[in-house]
Amino acid sequence: MLRVRASRWVTRAVAAVLASAGVAGAARGQGASRSLGDDFDDFEHAPDEVSGPARPAPPQREAGARSRPIRTPVERGNGDGNDDVLDEEIASAEEPEADLEPLDWRDRDPNRARAFRALPTLDGPTGGLYLVDGHPSGPDVLRALLVTDFFVTGDYLGPDDSHTYSGGLLAVSLARGTRFEPHAQLRFLSNSNSRGRPALLHALGDASVGVRVRHPLSPLLSVAADGAVRLPTGRDLGVHASAIGARVRAAASVDLSAREQPLPVVLRFNLGYELDNSAALVEALERERYRALADPRPVQDETRHLLTRIERRGFAIDRTDALEIGLGAEASVWLAPQIELRPLVEWRWQVPVNRQGYDCVFVPAAPGARVPSPGEDGCIADASVAAFPMDLVLGARVLPPVRGLVALAAVELGLLGASYRHAVRELAQNEPWLVMLGVGYAFDLSPPPPRPPTRFVERVERVEVPTRPPPAGRLQGFVLERGALVPIERATVRYLDRDHGAQATDAAGRFVSDRMAPGPVSLRVEAEGYEPADCAGEIPAEGDGHTRCELERRPQLVVVERTHIELREQIHFAFDSDVILPESFGLMEQIRAAIAGHPELRRIEIQGHTDDVGTEMYNLDLSQRRALSVRRWLVERGIEPDRLLARGYGEGHPLVRATTEEARARNRRVEFRILERAEREP
């Protein structure tokens, strides 16, 4: 039931009219009894009919806003001619509190919140800056990234030259499911060199389209395959079929935040191969230049008609394929409960592969020399690895409180292939350094939940209005993970010394109490996967109080593997008994949560094992009873009985064949074997 209240200006107008008519009334109050307030102005969400004529729907209030009641004295007639009875009609107004931000309905789902923290690469699929990863990126999210980059340098493509580069790209990706992510990119380049003729060169509209497919191997490790088709444009700004290229890439990523002791770091590894046919764009141009030479040498010895290193750089022309290797790491630092910083570092190396069989013309400085003549370019066959492009990227991305928005700043350093002294005819020159600035946004494509139909009923009660309400304030706070300062969603906050119900934190780890009397407040905070903790706050005499509670993450004692459930502690029983000791209840609860969280595990065998002390028949019976005791504990707490099979093996399957007390302690154990598993739906 929701409460409908008239707006403040209506209340003031009614009060003014009544005052001008000489009607005496009680002073306007600031507080009311909760029990009386629940009896009037109620919304009814059911579509049943209500008494009284239909009223127009009140204006919708902002989600998360709170209100305080406003009372206005109204003269009532009692039907016998004595109209001097004053009833207090409570026409309360909704007053949104400015310090309470509305909670977006999408942020209540932790999977949706995580999807909006996955960020796009420069090629489109989610990952780092250049390197993609295998972690989930959706579903129902459309991402767009707009980046501009530039550098200014000298002695770049020749001695004493001056070179300026600027460019930009637009990358988009669409995650409609959890495994597939189609993506596209549009890029333009602009280069200006003082030694060039003409000095300014443009490469406009180069595009690529592709798709990434991911597969999680575990919460820690995920892999992905990414393929894309490159569509370069030629001099006539059209796509040339012979110049269309492609790139395939395998990726693996390790999310260290999924470890038993979480670390907010993601590691990435990429291995790819690019089929580059961009040289087909300039084959006709070079043939025209050769025919125009007045004294041409044989083609295999002529270089004057070939693209210069300035032109190769300006039009981004490579005559070979490339084997691409990439390593990277990205961390997560929470500067505030709603502001996240993502510093990253990436290393990439492109090793040329002459699939095209390009016959490079090499003009040595002297007969037999491996150094090119001054003004001439070298060839890959005669060059060192210094000509192979290698980059190091240092950057950071910032996620502000606006959900889906990301800002990017990075510097790329050309470690190899960035000097004209190592220029080769097959490759465009690498950048010596590059500054990148960008902004991205993730659009939510999921439909909002439907609003239920509402009807309202207004009732009037006679109440006593206090002349001055007692002072009251609220306690606002955040629940964070200790050390990482990551917000904890759905943590339960209980008020130990106040008459106040328990609350659950939102996606930002935030909670706000109802209005309470000033003074200290003791809290008990609990969350799944964390140790409970006590914290305190205080409500001042005026205004609201603020606090922050930090919880310690529990160690992960249970890991679901492919064929079994690994226990990193043993289940302890009373001596010579099947009674589970209380010290193992925490481990049992983690086992229950692991089985409940993996519905694809259809059949699990609970195996009981003993040591070799006692007779074989007695140990077989004891192991069976202990396996049944574990099964009974799990069934009583919600696990479906037909998923669990209990079986005792006695002393017949020891882990260690020895008679020491340490060996016997290891052999006394309970194991969980997965007998039947269904593939999880994507």
**What pLDDT was estimated at residue 50?**
34
* Number of alpha carbons in the 13 Å side-chain half-sphere of residue 345: 2
Residue with tokens 């040595």: 364
Burial class (CB in 10 A: 0-12, 13-18, 19+), 102: exposed
Residue 334, φ and ψ in degrees, nearest 5:
-90, 110
**Angle between helical axes of 616-636 and 585-596 (0-180°, round to 10):** 60
**Short-list 201, 185, 192, CA closest to 143:** 185
Those residues of the chain that have pLDDT short of 70 are 1-114, 138, 177-178, 202-205, 234-239, 466-469, 680-682
**What pLDDT was estimated at residue 6?**
36
CA 271 to CA 322: how far, in whole Å?
Answer: 11
The residues, any chain, with a CB within 8 Å of residue 439's CB and separated by 6 or more, are 145, 146, 405, 406, 407, 408
Q: DSSP state, 105?
A: G
**What pLDDT was estimated at residue 243?**
85
CA 619 to CA 184: how far, in whole Å?
Answer: 65
**What pLDDT was estimated at residue 495?**
94
CA 148 to CA 178: how far, in whole Å?
Answer: 30
The residues, any chain, with a CB within 8 Å of residue 57's CB and separated by 6 or more, are 454, 456
CA 202 to CA 188: how far, in whole Å?
Answer: 8
* Number of alpha carbons in the 13 Å side-chain half-sphere of residue 616: 3
How many degrees, rounded to 5, is the angle at CA 83 between CA 82 and CA 88? Answer: 135
* Number of alpha carbons in the 13 Å side-chain half-sphere of residue 90: 27
Residue 72, φ and ψ in degrees, nearest 5:
-130, 125
What residues are paired with 625 via a beta bridge?
none
Fill in the amino acid letter for 85. V
**What pLDDT was estimated at residue 98?**
39
Given a contact cutoff of 8 angstroms between Cβ atoms, the answer to whether 92 and 41 are in contact is yes
**What pLDDT was estimated at residue 453?**
79
Q: Looking at the whole model, is its pTM more than 0.85? A: no
**What pLDDT was estimated at residue 55?**
37
In the chain, DSSP finds a helix count (H) and a strand count (E) of: 8, 29
